[in-house]
Amino acid sequence: MPLRAQHAHGQVNNLVSVDNKLYHFGFILGLNMMDFNPMHSSVVDEDGKVWFGEDTRLMPGFSVGIISALRIFSWLNMRFTPILLFNQRNLVFRDSEGVECEDGAITVQSNIMEFPLSFKIRGQRKHNYRPYMLAGAAMTVDMGRDSENSIMLKQVDYGVEFGVGIDFYLPYFKLCPELKFYFGLGDVLERDRPEIADISDMKYTHAISKLTSRLIVLSFNFE
């Protein structure tokens, strides 16, 4: 099976038959950023205050994962790409007058295992590169939950994801830079907190009616 083919103009195409494989595997290295999208409840606490939460800082994190891909058509692959993401998110609460809460920013550590099932729609190959789009759904499992934090997340979430990328055909493997966006659909805020005895410690949880999760992942796929 030839790895290269040369055109009359001298252009060398690498891995000319790699896209004909029924299935293949690879691995992922990348960076990520996470944040929350809070919806406010306007609940008044015991002190007569209404709190509003916002995600203030985007922090870079690290990602690592594996790729398994099944060829459906010449232009379409189905992919299962479990990936582990390490990061943290920060929520700041302010009252209706804009005064920040005395607790400062609440840091939520997020060690997330994501299980995406997506479809990769590939464009026409041009020499040694080929653009693509992807779309699918994913389930995430949060393995960094902290029951002592003011804000605690549910362990499981689900959402949709979209992305774009380019396959670069190198002599011995494909390098695929990829930018992907995940939008959580479920409410990830844990409201059942029997370990909290003082109701005043739940004021930040009560201040949010729904908390959804968002991810941006810049990956370098080796296939």
**Structure confidence by residue, pLDDT tens digits, 148-181:** 788 889 999 999 999 999 999 999 999 999 999 9
Q: How confident is the model at residue 223 (pLDDT cuts 50, 70, 90)?
A: very high
Average pLDDT over residues 186-192: 90
Q: Which of 75, 87, 91, 71 is nearest to 25 (CA)?
A: 71
Residue whose entry in the numeric block shows the structure tokens 């930018």: 179
More confident residue, 34 or 103: 34
What the block records as the tokens of 9 is 């103009």
d(CA 44, CA 146): 26
**Structure confidence by residue, pLDDT tens digits, 66-95:** 999 999 999 999 999 999 999 998 888 887
Number of H helices, E strands in the chain: 1, 12
pLDDT of residue 2: 46
Considering the domain delimited by 4-222, tell me its CATH architecture.
Answer: Beta Barrel (2.40)
**Structure confidence by residue, pLDDT tens digits, 29-54:** 999 999 998 888 877 776 667 777 88
pLDDT of residue 112: 95
Amino acid at 106: I
Q: Facing residues of 66 across strands?
A: 27
d(CA 59, CA 110): 11
pLDDT of residue 193: 80
pLDDT of residue 197: 65
In the chain, % of residues over pLDDT 90: 56
